[in-house]
């Protein structure tokens, strides 16, 4: 594959990864906060 194709693939892949990771970890943190709220009010 050419450098341009790999660079474009890197841009797309990295964007998808970062957006997905932010969404995924925000859900996990939210569930932990809900759990703490249930436990301690």
Partner 1 sequence: MDLLPFFEWLDTSILADIAKAYGGVFVVVQTFHLLALSLLGGTVLVGDLRLLGVVMKDVPSQVVIQNTQKWFSVALVILILSGLFQAAAVAMKLYYNEMFWAKMTGLAAGIVFVYAIRRPLLLRFDHDTINPWALRLIAVSSMTIWFTVAASGRWIGFS
Task: State the residues that interact with partner 1 by CB under 8 A.
Answer: 1, 3, 6-7, 9-11, 13-15, 17-18, 21, 24-25, 28
What is the rounded CA–CA span in Å between residue 23 and residue 3? Answer: 30
| 12, two tokens | 């797309």
d(CA 7, CA 1): 10
Minimum Å distance from CB 6 to partner 1? 4
Of the pair 3, 40, the CB lying nearest partner 1 is at 3
- Minimum distance of partner 1 from residue 41's CB (angstroms): 21
């Amino acid at each position: 594959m050419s450098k341009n194709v790999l660079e474009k693939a890197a841009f797309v892949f990295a964007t998808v990864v970062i957006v997905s990771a932010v969404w995924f970890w925000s859900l996990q943190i939210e569930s932990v906060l809900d759990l703490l709220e249930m436990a301690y009010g």
